[in-house]
A and B are shown apart, each in its own frame.
Chain A
Amino acid sequence: MIPSFFLMSRPRLTLHGILARYHFGVTLLAVTLAWIAILLAGMTALKSYAHQNLDMAAQLASYGVEPGLVFNDQAAIQEAIDPLIRKDGIARIRVLNSLGNPLLDRRSTTTDPAPFMTQMLLPTAVHAPIFHNGLELGGVQVWGDSSAVMRFAKLGLLTGLACLALTIVGSMALARRIDRDLVQPLSDMALLAHDVRLHRHFEKRVQPVGVAELDRLGGDINALLEELQGWQIGMEHERAQLAHQAMHDPLTTLPNRTAFDEHLRQRIAMAQTAGGQHASFALIFIDADNFKQANDQYGHAMGDHVLIELSRRIHDATKDQDFAARLGGDEFVIILDKLDSDFSVDQFSAQLKTSVGRPIPLPGKGLYDATISVGFAFYPADGTSASDLLTAADAAMYADKFSRKI
């Protein structure tokens, strides 16, 4: 029966799917974390960089406007500020005199791309005093905007997206590799196990793939298969032996009564359906005449010897297509498969009696004078069923036995 957990409604997961999913998840997490870290670090660095930039711009403005203040030259102040206000990331520059009154207030012509970023990163102006010979002549105030920051942010976003795309492609490639190195061999193993279970192909083996754990598993599976193969061969052998034992007489190795019944049944069926050459056959009963006395006289060992010898002779007297069996005791039977047109009962009977009914030399104890009685029954003349044929042959055999006794 299929265990219940295989029948759960949840969709079945594949190893490939699990690995691909985990792999993608881990990579995505790593990339996202790295991205966030870089973005945060970048933003922090950028903030300080923007501050420094403003600081430098303020210092530069302070240095540039100083002579303008000293010589009271508005044009010089303007000329010092003009190139600075055009710079990226600077929104406004104001020059103050020592009383704090503005001498110049310039705003950048470019608009702030993200005022909230400016508010977040550069909320206040940077102030640089203007000193000349130790006297503070005034100061410069510089406001920044987010244009440089936004450029970085855009670049960061694009880089992040590119990384993400690269992650997807990379994790897909890695998943394919894992599939090839890990999932495919496992799948092959499963397929092999299935094949072995279904078709009893115990001779199949798992091929090594070069992964230690998988090869250990494969090795164990191979060892198991080898054992199973050994068991199967042994079992088949045993079964064949048992089948042979069931159908053969252990002493004489001739087919036994069971085998004979089966053979006769098949032969009758064949005669009924095939016809022609197979439409007729003969059943011959053979019985040793004085076996009981010999058995009593010489002992069972000698009796066995006589039975083996008789069996050999009966077997030799039959052709390949004929069937000889020992029914039990000293009773034997032959099925003559094909009857020649000139077949003669007397001739065959005599032939049997001379080839089988010769004296049998006993080991060290002289001779056993083996004589046999023979009874014929013909299909379909004497009967078309097994019991009819057997009865007819038995009767004929007894008739033969008693005819000679009288």
Chain B
Amino acid sequence: MLAEIILAAVSVSSAALPYDEPYDAPHALHAASTVQDGGATTNRAADRLIGGILSYVRWPDLRPLASRKICVVGVPKLSSNLRPLLPGNVAMHISYRDARDVIQTDGCDALFLGSIPVADRQKLIGWVRGRPVLTLTDTDPSCSGGAMFCLVERQHGPTFLVNLDAIARGPLRVDPRVLRIGKDGLP
């Protein structure tokens, strides 16, 4: 089926990553974090933000260290090669899908919404409501489109905004410390 086209399925064992390495020089990191890799862009700071957010979200039916399935819909703006940096020994599966496929298969723990048509976005946001699915986007600078976390580019590098309404509508539990950090990202 068309929906089965998985552009990339990356299994990431984040324990293998030197997680603490970037922290030694945070500002230097931002400057050098965007790596051009043969047309595919990588943003390690964004990967780190996404991993951090994921690590502070609790799914009602997932154990804290169970593997997470992350579905990317559309093309992410910050990075075309998302590899979330998750602290701790947590496995991740990243798959690239389209909106219809996500709704039909219902196998995603988190949705990363890249640049997609407004109709698809609204459909997905509506479908997510009440489901244990985390929504992230990097194409909503005011974070009013219904996604729970919005990655935005700032002067010092990427940061994120939080849509408390969207979080409150779902069954996911988000550590309040993250909400505070998210708020800090507001201009």
Report if A134-B65 is in contact (Cβ < 8 Å); known contacts: A97-B23, A98-B20.
Answer: yes
B75 at the interface (CB under 8 A from A): no
A68 at the interface (CB under 8 A from B): yes
Total A-B pairs, Cβ < 8 A:
71
Q: Mark A73-97, 1 if CB is under 8 A from B, else 0.
A: 1111001000000000000000001
Q: Mark A129-164, 1 if CB is under 8 A from B, else 0.
A: 000111101100000000000000000000000000
B19 at the interface (CB under 8 A from A): yes
Report if A72-B184 is in contact (Cβ < 8 Å); known contacts: A67-B178, A133-B86, A135-B88.
Answer: no
From 34 to 48 in chain B, residues with beta carbon under 8 angstroms from any chain A beta carbon are 45, 48
Which residues on the B side are within 8 Å of A135 (C-beta)? 15, 19, 87-89
In the complex, are the beta carbons of B90 and A68 less than 8 A apart? no
Dominant secondary structure of chain A at its interface with chain B: mixed
In the complex, are the beta carbons of B20 and A99 less than 8 A apart? yes
Dominant secondary structure of chain B at its interface with chain A: helix
A103 at the interface (CB under 8 A from B): yes
Which residues on the A side are within 8 Å of B65 (C-beta)? 133-134
The docked-state distance in angstroms from the alpha carbon of A353 to that of B96 is: 178
In chain A, what residue has the closest Cβ to B30? Answer: A72
In the complex, are the beta carbons of A133 and B23 less than 8 A apart? no
Q: Mark A36-67, 1 if CB is under 8 A from B, else 0.
A: 00000000000000000000000000011011
Known: A76-B181, A133-B87. 10 other contacts (CB 8 A): A64-B177, A67-B56, A67-B181, A70-B87, A72-B22, A72-B48, A97-B20, A97-B23, A132-B87, A133-B90
A residues in contact (CB < 8 Å) with B: 63-64, 66-76, 79, 97-99, 101, 103, 132-135, 137-138
B residues in contact (CB < 8 Å) with A: 15, 19-20, 22-24, 26, 29, 45, 48-49, 52, 55-56, 64-65, 86-90, 175, 177-178, 180-181, 184
What are 7 inter-chain pairs, A to B, with CB distance below 8 A? A67-B52, A67-B56, A71-B49, A72-B26, A97-B20, A98-B19, A135-B89
